[in-house]
A and B are shown apart, each in its own frame.
Chain A
């Protein structure tokens, strides 16, 4: 009788427990993240802010390791900061090329975060037009840690933001409209496509001995080229000749030290803004004692060459001696 009872009771108990677990799982609080606004329309050069929102549902959130991803050819990250929902920054906000991250925490484990609110704010700049919209989305390694959820990621779904960047300000390339949009991005582009714009002189990271250098490059024939020299900044426009060459000699002296050039033009076919940047140094021996070189000097190149030569000689010697030895044998 007892055996029969056990035979029936065990499967029933297992079934009930499993059912309860399943129910709990179905009812398990589902934390979501979203980026607002969900859709954004901006012009090239415009800066805008996105907010990262959280709905904890029933979860008690302790920490969020937030990773955002975007197209670095279209968007430049400026900064990321914590929102009001999480006062505790566990690791600092970092914006890189196409990524932004910040880790946030509750004040302590006895006061976990619940509810809805803004957990972070991301500032972006539109740097190039889009033919199809791009997204700012959550990286797959975004992790939301919650009490009573063990090592499980409490994040169940996320909503990205879709960004459309129009031609915007580059349609009318006047100095006043372009100046704020062309924050230099190093290193220089270097390898531009034939339809793109280039800076051929000075060379990237080179030193120039005049404080009024001539800047030269190429762009589509007849194009208007906007040149901005940072950090003052100085902005001028020139027009390329029939061969696509543009040139400009500064009419005012630049201060000694590092400078950055940004040139921009509108692609006549696509309407997109093409840009190129490079850094150079005006080395006219200023009174502040600046190094006068974009490449800081500590080791001497001559020494390196001598050592390379000596080393090579030893390599040759080391190679030839055994060879001669065998010949003698």
Chain B
């Protein structure tokens, strides 16, 4: 069901996340969700881990969701959608449902990389026909910017503040996309709302693949990142251009970089607009920026090598 991605045509579609949600001004998450839902015409049912997206989109008597949606708990978005998908398969097998329905689990990095990792891994391993979409804003934002394993090294968070003896997070971040690819699922990819066509293409591609799929989408948070309310798309673009957040996909084990920046920017371009990295721009902490750059460069080289492994 591949659709041509032309904004004019897309703009005529109903957006299945309504206005009136409570996410902060300039939040990356609702834009990510909007793009994900616009990309397809299939009916979609979603589960959602506890977090910013969940509490802000469904609170009290109000829901911004125009699709069937379930929030269960923090760590089990994947397990919950597994249950929904299993019921669908059961009822379809019994002839009680005919239509084609797609299943998506939404989770923040907290509910995906950390507490939700087991449930995600289990669902992927069992082969449920679903897409797990992580909107990665790099910390437990909903509870006030606490570090997660997705937080970049050097970042100032409330549980690992940049202080006089500890300069923010000292561990590098987990590469969850690679962990998911290592599950040998048919499709794992990274996307960014700044590169909307790439994002939507990946969503469409994922819907056409049968089995478990994983999409990791960067989702800037101006509160946690201490950035301006208007630069979430700009920052996600910089994330891609500095190769901090490379856009690639691993389809049946074959790695393909889906976007190569014309000019790979130095990581400071990404770090400078964010207040959470402000403390790194001092002589005693510049080694951290250097380390961040080294890690990015190494990962990018590795990714390019992986791609070469499979190119004809």
Pairing of A with B: no
